[in-house]
Structure 1
Amino acid sequence: MKTITGVLFGALVYFLLAGTLRAQALPEIRFFYSETCPHCIAEHKFLDILQEESPTIIISRYPISDPENRILLENILREADKSEYLGSVPITVIGNNVILGFDNSEGIGSQIRNLVNAEPKQSEKVVIPIIGNTDLTNYPLPLLAIMLGFLDGFNVCSLGALALILGLVLVLQDRKKILLYGGVFILTTAIIYGALIFLWHRVFMLVASYTMFLELAIGLLGVIGGYTFFKEYQACRKLGPSCKFGNTPLVGKFSRIVQNSFQKKASWISLASAIFSFAAVITIVEFPCSAALPVVFAGVLADHNLQPAFYLGLIALFVLLYMLDELIVYVIAVTRMSIWLSNPKFMIYTVLIEGILLFAIGTYYLINAFNLV
């Protein structure tokens, strides 16, 4: 056993240390504007045309009416030694270049085009032994959300709690009650888990303008999280999957409340409230069990500086995939009146895959933070 895990760990370290990574991103235009400024309106139209001409360009638009955007702009101008621009719009940021004002497509518009064309457009690549060059831009954020969310979903604590709820409800042999009480558990878990990822995203956004600090934080979380998952994988191979937080007094207390509510045949409102509380406690208490994945994911979203609609959509996608296995268990319980759980061996190997992914993401960001390429 030690030989196998040693080989796996050695291969993992070789993969990480042998990979060379080039971190030039696609060109990005950061546009700070006022809704009432005529020059801003003109630049909006110009950027729309530029986006149609070059779909790979990332154009992020920030209305200065938003206090967070004003803070971001202030930090950018301070780092660029252009603090005198503060209070004026439009301001266009491309790489390390800051442009104040806009006239037309031939004037400042031409300057913007030239800067965009001068920006490095090499793809983000990792040179992996045997496999060769792997282009990271072929794996966009939605795919990352799907991969990490799916793997994170094989969580023994949450699955065990759902199995407890369904086991109690199945005794009633009532599909409507299974649908209701199981649905309350799943919906509560999804909302609270999504809220936790959102809160971590907001924490990372507080330091998003300090690029090196953000990359260093994500990198360290990824590497430490990857190491932790690898240690957990070793333990799971010996003892099988287990929930470290399932026996805490708080979880035990709410578990007993739910069981007593079923035994006393409480009203459906009381039962639903008990299940809601139990799901909330389980989700919060077991969050540290696999926190590295959602926290690193939140950091990656912050690093990409997305608009609210995009990062909220990606968080929702992550949560949907996180809940996928529980949804399958839930649907089977409703349709077949029985409980099905994932194969323990599969759950063990998802822990190893999670560790590898976190190591890779962490190493990528650490290399970026220290400009090692």
Structure 2
Amino acid sequence: MKKYLLVLSVASALAIPFLQVQAVEKVTIEVFESDSCPHCRAFLSFIEDLQKERSDFELVDYDINTSEGRDFFVEVTDKLELPKATPIIYIGEEVLLGFDKPKTTGQAVIGLIDKTKEKESVRSLKEFINTRGSVNQNEDGEICDDGNPCELRTSGNTIIGIPFTGKTIDVGNFSLPTMSFVLGVVDGFNPCAMWVLVLLLGALVAVGSKRRMWEIAGLFLVAQALMYYLILNVWLYAWDFIGLDRIITPIIGVVAVGAGIYFLREYKIATDECKVTDLQQRAKIAKKVQEFAQKPITVVTAIGIIGLALSVNIFEFACSIGIPQTFTKILDINQLSFFGEQFYNGLYLSGYMLDDLIVFAIALYSFDKIGLTGKYTRFSHLIGGLLMVVLGLILLINPNFLVF
């Protein structure tokens, strides 16, 4: 009998390491994604390429456009106080918010896969949010109290890509002021938001008033800066940007198509009038246009511009929040005072608005150099009208086409 017990004990001892290896042999990656999110597609493409190189992980994909995926998405983001944005990537009881490039976020994903393989056991995302009762200690030694779910650790990856260069930098090596400004600059060079400013400036050039350009475009820039500043402070917890984007984007599309039709009509009218109108009549028309352009901005106009600025930020945040997430996480780690956080938010915002200010300055410079001849004005109406109609239709049919 003792002999059999000895054999059984030895067999059990040999089986324990094998069972532990089996438990972590396959790492599960869970992701919330949407087919309208380009960063989600970039992540899935990265995973597809990575699966060709290694077979020690598997992917569980939750599409938030399905009722089941959306319900689980809302449950997870509410319970863990995560922003309602995609992609959200869960690996080994840690989370990555957003996806940039294989050289940046991709390396963080690989690091979490390797890190998870060293653990004895890992809960699925569903098990994690429903954990109650038992005490569990993670690899960093934090204790999860009885009766409360364990705290989800958010990965603080500080490697970012530099626009237009294909290179990466680790902003974790920078001082806090420098890091704040650099992250803001990288975040600001985003075509998701810049195309709206370019479109707005093009329309204002067609109107033919430098003063109106200063007023309307200036108000747009100020409103956009304030909106983004509020987003950095509120940090999305109470906002469902994906839900808002679904409502606002079609509205912007309809407005853009309507504005485009208006400019095309103006182009046609201007062409016809040139055939039948004498110089005196043209002068009267030009005077009326000038008087209209010099009128002060109304409350309705101001509200519309502020609404446009808000929609731009919603459109940009609906897909990814990787860089601002990194920034706010670093501020949180440094445990700054309220005024300290606002100071660094201001530095980040100044970098974020830099590209918009450059575009604005170029538009003003071009305004002075090109001038506003009748031929140029009609040409601007044609180009601006076609551009607005095309952009409006894209926003209505496939808004993701405007995200680069």
TM-score norm. by structure 2 comes to 0.38
Q: Which has the larger radius of gyration?
A: 2
TM-score norm. by structure 1 comes to 0.41
